[in-house]
Amino acid sequence: MLERAIRTLPTPAPVPLPSARPGPLKARGKPRPDIREIEPGTAKPFIKWVGGKRQLLHELDPRIPSRFNTYHEPFVGGGALFFHLMPERAELSDTNERLVRTYIGVRDAVEDVIDLLASYPHDRDFFMKLRSSDIDTKTDVEVAAWFIYLNRTGFNGLYRVNRQNQYNVPFGDYQNPTICDAENLRACSRALKHASIRVASFEDVAARARPGDFVYFDPPYVPLSASSSFTSYTSGGFGMREQQRLRDVARELKERGVRVLLSNSSAPEVYSLYGDGFELAAVGASRAINCKAAGRGRIQELIIR
């Protein structure tokens, strides 16, 4: 089960794109008119995320189609690939409602988020009080400030909840964490202006994606060992049954002419899942954000297409 019933959060009507544009497929590197002031690479993920792809962009980039229509990212996480591509049309989604509301808050009211974050002290007592607040009853701006603050000051930048959907990461041992990076938040807000952002399962992309679109799946990984798990990403978890459904959705999209790229661990189960009809490439990744020291360091991950 998802942490809440899947629903679509209201988003502003999309701003019409300029009428003068080449062909049906847009070059992925061409910036939108309203974000031309953002230099390439300026907008970067505003939250830390386990398995974030910023360090692997050089491996992902050559495997991305040079032209596509709409970009879909159903496990948006930190959004490293989205901020790298800055596509003209994007559908971003996740089952983590607080994460989705954080993106909406940054997109729609970034100055309010900045003002709230700037007022938050780096203090253990304040952290514990904010952590225990009933955040789901608050506005998107308050959720965004809550999420970013806890992400920046919590232990190893983890997002982890228990079965009651209570955030349970302890206070981090940081001297002077960057709680409010105002300029990057503004750049991210501009980059998100034309993105549709919603709470939805990865399976929802099968109904939205059209031939010529590009979908990037970056799910919670299949654990490399029995002691490692990413299922606390939401209160519902993400097990092998979900991994199999993800594989089936990827195959369905591919057969319909949608370009598909996936990331996952190099666990034997992943090789078995994607052994038929997919191209697998092992790449090295350094994973520093982990609750256990043994889980950090250089490991192999798979890029699948």
Spacing of C-alpha 120 from chain mean position: 24
**Residue 100 one-letter amino acid:** V
Is there a binding annotation on residue 112? no
Is there a binding annotation on residue 129? no
106 contacts 112 by C-beta, under 8 angstroms: no
- Rounded to whole angstroms, how far apart are CA atoms 267 and 223? 7
- Rounded to whole angstroms, how far apart are CA atoms 289 and 78? 13
- Rounded to whole angstroms, how far apart are CA atoms 228 and 277? 28
Q: Quote the CATH superfamily of domain 41-304.
A: Vaccinia Virus protein VP39 (3.40.50.150)
- Rounded to whole angstroms, how far apart are CA atoms 60 and 254? 18
Order the strands of the 280-287 sheet from edge to edge.
195-199, 90-94, 71-73, 214-217, 259-265, 297-304, 280-287
- Residue 242 burial (10 A CB sphere; 0-12, 13-18, 19+): middle
Residue 185 token pair: 């938040």
Is there a binding annotation on residue 30? no
- pTM of the entire predicted model: 0.82
141 contacts 109 by C-beta, under 8 angstroms: yes
Sites in the chain below the pLDDT cut of 70: 1-41, 226-237, 287-297
> Among the residues of 154-221, which ranges form H helices?
182-191, 205-208
Residue 63 token pair: 């495997």
Give residue 292's pLDDT.
52
How many other CB atoms are there within 10 angstroms of residue 226's CB atom? Answer: 6
Is there a binding annotation on residue 218? yes
Residue 220 token pair: 């919670």
